[in-house]
Chains A and B, each alone.
Chain A
Amino acid sequence: MSGAIATNPRSRLSDFFYRHSGLLTFALLLPPLLWIGIVYLGSLFALLLQSFYSLDEFSGLIVHEFTLSTYEQLFTPTNLTIILRTAVMAAAVTLASAILAFPIAYYAARYARGGWKALFYLAVMMPLWSSYLVKVYAWKLILAKEGIVTWVAGKIHLGWLLDALLAMPVIGGSSLSFSYIGTFIVFVYIWLPYMILPTQAALERVPKNFIEASADLGASPRQTFRTVILPLAMPGVIAGSIFTFSLTLGDYIIPQIVGNSRPFIGTTVYALQGTAGDIPLAAAFTVVPVVIMGIYLMIARRMGAFDAL
């Protein structure tokens, strides 16, 4: 018990935090909390505040008075169409990502071993982290009228199929890079890794003996898949869907580069705050994805998706 009384200030501080370990936790938490609280939540709050202001149509200036008129504007048929279009796109992208991601995740989790497993993981990680813009650009190259898709379709004599696809009423267009199909493909491509990783993580956590137990109890592989593997993988899929859905809702670059220039929430917000200078309406528009995601996160949390993040 030598030196029961600490003499130098640093070890006295150490003693103090040892006795009050809650305070240490608080002291550690404070800087990041302040950052997120002030920089992020503060900004979000400022944005929310803006949505209750309005734009004077004649002067083009923002009227700093509380009003709900901006929200009235939000619910005009044109804007509702934009919201609906975005939500449908996000849902379609999420669904397609889940379907595409599952076999990859399943294979990587259950069958790939050793070096192959590492390769699989890297193969998913690389596109996830590599440049968003570069990937979008790559698809511009692929989907262009004179690009590789047209070329391949011509080579295998399926040009007629491509033309038929592009001739379809809503989803078609002059070329793939100017159609909903193109926008959809690029969205799926860009967000796919966000779906694969949590799904794979959830599948990895299904203990092997669950599957053996199920088989032992007389379930066919198909039944085992449906009754054991799929339910246990669901939290992972839902966690992935948080990303695919949210990212699609808010994206404003992909529809600008690949698409038929019909507005989505993201492009509308971008245009409103930029050229139109209507910050209040832009702010009100961003509340839509926030609300949608809020509800989505609440449901996801209830379904245990947060453990799979």
Chain B
Amino acid sequence: MRSEPGASVPLKAAAVGGLLFLHLPLALIFLYAFTTEEKSFQFPPPSLTLHWLSVAWFDRPDIWGPLWLSLKVAVLATLIALILGTLAAAALWRARFFGKDSLSLLFILPIALPGIITGIALRSAFDIMSIPFSTWTIVLGHATFCIVVVYNNALARFRRLSPSMIEASVDLGANGAQTFRHVILPQISSALLAGGMLAFALSFDEVIVTTFTAGQQATLPIWMLNELIRPRQRPVTNVVAMIVIAVTFLPILAAYYLTREGEHTGGSGR
């Protein structure tokens, strides 16, 4: 480890210990997916088996519906969040007016306030307006808190764009739309992609708001919640949890590499 002298042993131990605390539990999910003990969480598992993978694939058709619904909702919510989040970031980046801070607070609010409030508020609004539950009621809720993810990513990148670069484009004859297409968009696209990835991951495993906006429909996390409260085959839940980890892991990793590139060389560089 290339570190400066001065990182004391207790500090190192605390840092590494903290990271282990964050990661070991996830490893257990994987372990328990292969246990032969079905009824309890006995540790160590009596022995290991691949049986549950095939059970999840062949014998549990109740998994497929929620999986499909979660993917659909995540894609739709991400698209809406991409459009609205980018617009909001562009506007607040340009804005010079008073009250800019309050506006940015407004966009952060859906993740700063507990999810249960968003959930129950949406539900009571649906009640009042007699809107029946559907895929779209779930999407509505998800898009609301996904906007802020895209917004944050886009705004960070917008702020790194130098104003004179945009002036240079206008100076060279490009109007606003042309400048956006040729100069701004290519430079913010990776941040947008990253924001979209994170929004997707966030939506895909959201459960707190979804409970209130789904009605009788089940997304994958709701399916899992039901399994947790009324377990049928515990290891199958672990298999699904592994899938969820995989589906969210890849976009998060991609998002990290997409935004990192910009951070290292931001400003003058590529």
Q: Do chains A and B touch in the complex (CB under 8 A)?
A: yes
| Contact surface of A with B, Cβ cutoff 8 Å | 10-11, 13-15, 17-18, 21-22, 24-26, 28-29, 31-33, 35-36, 39-44, 46-47, 50, 100-101, 103-104, 106-108, 110-114, 116, 118, 120-127, 129-142, 144, 146-148, 150-151, 189, 192-193, 196, 221, 242-243, 246-247, 249-253, 256-257, 266, 269-270, 273, 279, 282-283, 286, 289-290, 293, 297, 306, 309
Within 8 A of A (CB), among B210-256: 211-212, 221, 224-225, 228-229, 237-238, 241, 244-245, 248-249, 252-253, 256
Q: Is the CB of B28 within 8 A of A121?
A: no
Contact between chains at B25 and A286 (CB < 8 Å): no
The answer to the question of B132 belonging to the interface, with a C-beta cut-off of 8 Å to chain A, is no
Cβ distance A162 to chain B, nearest Cβ, rounded Å: 14
CB-CB < 8 A to A266: which residues of B?
A: 114, 116
25 inter-chain pairs at a CB distance below 8 angstroms, sorted by A residue, are: A14-B177, A18-B175, A28-B88, A32-B87, A32-B88, A35-B84, A43-B124, A46-B128, A106-B11, A116-B2, A123-B19, A130-B201, A133-B221, A142-B28, A144-B41, A146-B43, A150-B43, A250-B116, A251-B114, A253-B225, A270-B211, A273-B120, A289-B114, A293-B112, A309-B108
Is A40's CB under 8 angstroms from B26's CB? no
Cβ contact within 8 Å between B3 and A111: yes
Q: Is the interface of A mostly helix, strand, loop or mixed?
A: helix
- The chain B residue with its CB closest to the CB of A15 is B175
Determine chain B's interface SS by DSSP, over half rule: helix
Give me the interface of B with A, judged by CB distance under 8 Å. 1-4, 6-7, 11-12, 14-15, 18-19, 21-23, 25-26, 28-29, 32, 40-44, 83-85, 87-88, 90-92, 94-95, 97, 101, 103, 105-118, 120-125, 127-128, 140, 143-144, 147, 151, 175-178, 198, 201-202, 204-208, 211-212, 221, 224-225, 228-229, 237-238, 241, 244-245, 248-249, 252-253, 256, 260
Closest A residue, CB atoms, query B88: A32
- Output the least CB separation between B219 and chain A (Å): 11
- Shortest CB-to-CB span from A55 to chain B, Å, is 13
Contact between B201 and A192 (Cβ–Cβ < 8 Å)?
no
A282 to B106, CA, bound (A): 24
Closest B residue to A21 by beta carbon equals B94
A133 touches B116 (CB 8 A): no
A21 to B122, CA, bound (A): 35
| Chain B residues in 8 Å Cβ range of A114 | 2
A297: B residues at CB distance < 8 A? 105, 112
The reply to whether A151 and B43 contact each other, CB–CB distance below 8 Å, is yes
B18 close to A134 (CB less than 8 A): no
Complex contacts, B151 vs chain A, CB 8 Å? 32
> Nearest CB to that of A29 among chain B residues?
B91
Q: Is the CB of B114 within 8 A of A28?
A: no
Least CB distance, B191 to chain A, in whole angstroms: 15
Assembled-state Cα–Cα distance A127/B85 (Å): 24
Q: Closest 5 CB pairs between A and B?
A: A250-B114, A103-B14, A107-B15, A131-B205, A14-B175
Contact B221 A46 (CB under 8 A): no
Query: Is B85's CB under 8 angstroms from A192's CB?
Result: no
| Contact residue among B3, B22, B41 (Cβ-Cβ distance under 8 Å from A192) | B22
- CB pair A123 B23 closer than 8 Å: yes
**Are B107 and A25 closer than 8 Å at their CB atoms?**
no
Q: How far is the CB of A207 from chain B (nearest CB, A)?
A: 16
Contact of A141 among B41, B108, B204, B253 (CB under 8 A): B41
Residues in chain A near residue B253, CB distance under 8 A: 122
Given A40-B110, A116-B2, check contact A29 B14 (CB 8 Å): no
List, in ascending order, chain A residues with CB within 8 A of B244's CB. Answer: 131, 133-134
Distance in angstroms from A141 CB to nearest chain B CB is 5
Contacts of A122 in B (CB 8 A): 253, 256
A250 and B113 contact, Cβ closer than 8 Å, known pairs A137-B241, A146-B42: yes
Taking a contact as CB atoms under 8 Å apart, the answer to whether A242 and B112 are in contact is yes
Task: For B224, give the chain A residue with the smallest CB separation.
Answer: A133
- Please state if A28 and B112 are interface contacts (CB–CB under 8 Å): no
Bound form: Cα–Cα A244–B202 in Å: 17
| Closest-CB distance, A19 to chain B (whole angstroms) | 11
